[in-house]
Structure 1
């Protein structure tokens, strides 16, 4: 979400007198002597939340842009920041945003011999359906059921950035899902998006009454095996750090914790 960098060699006064212009409803521009030296953007997600991003080389320009954006937009407002970027986190904090949650990014191999999933089988009474094999109405039903369970607990907006709220009843693309079926209904699903030699796992979920039986591991074995056979060598996943079960699942198949991001928020 954030691509901002600050110029170490620039004088601290650079940008303090920049002219900030609101280009349209969701974009801002900082200019000095007619030259653009920074940009701000507000992105509205399907769940209605607005995430801010600022791109500039100069700290004072960042401060002026964020002040203008916060003055122009109603709360609540959000941003994602690399947890290792202490300067950027501090600047958002000085602007009034506070840390709401932390998200871990994991990187894992798809090779079953590397993950240890080559001998993983589905639990008794459970059938794993590969990418594209799910029936769309049943897929939509388990998706909505999982969403309701998450909403009743942590809230769907605690899910990683890759997981978007869909309008109720909106169709899903079975080619992006592996599902687990038991007793004539779907009891779990994994969503994956593959791009060339890398893939992102955006959702791993099992119905509450079926958890703790190895269903999630079996679905991951199917997903990662299919990716490996298709020439995709690695996959990544984002996990809320409070979701210790998900972290244990990925770490248990050799996933590496490569980075962390903080979600910051202003307003209730």
Structure 2
């Protein structure tokens, strides 16, 4: 119970900071009912809001990889009916953020070593294309924003929480995709990036990886400054390949130590 209460408090803190959480028609009473994940039933986009918030909770690590998702608990946390919960679970299962396990029900997808390798191979292609198209297409506003985000990335230190590192990279990718001006690329990259977040926590947590990551991204930025699309693509693909090797080595370490071989072992 204490663990559940702590999770609800963390979710509550994160959600109340998000300007899109409450819409016209919400009342203070509704916000304070049970869990602060409670959704306003007057909102015609209730189903979409539930999908968005459940997706965010999974991506942010509030629901851990491999965690069973109790239908009853989700109904209580979000204050919605079972039919809406089932629809949301089905939507996120289609995005492969949730996996249906026979005789056990839905759980947060737990990636294994081979799946990680596949994801990094595809991510390398998409991230390389995004950097090339940004270099070729981005306007000055997007360029200046990307360069400013790079300055923020340089301020990160190994002592920062993995969540802070992931959030900073997500800001970088959001700007990159905006300036690339390719709607299909943005859609595909975003869905893949949602799945790979747990792997990025995995690789960024390795001792000594952060300075190397920043140096690799800095090289990509230099190519973008010169609008050298081919070099930006090459360097981005090399950066992702390096991150993939780190994640793969972490899987190998866990396997040697006798840890679970069917997915990422989470700290804590």
Q: Could you tell me the TM-score, scaled by structure 2's length?
A: 0.28
Query: Counting helix residues as a fraction of each chain, which structure ranks higher?
Result: 2
Bigger Cα Rg: 1
Q: Could you tell me the TM-score, scaled by structure 1's length?
A: 0.28
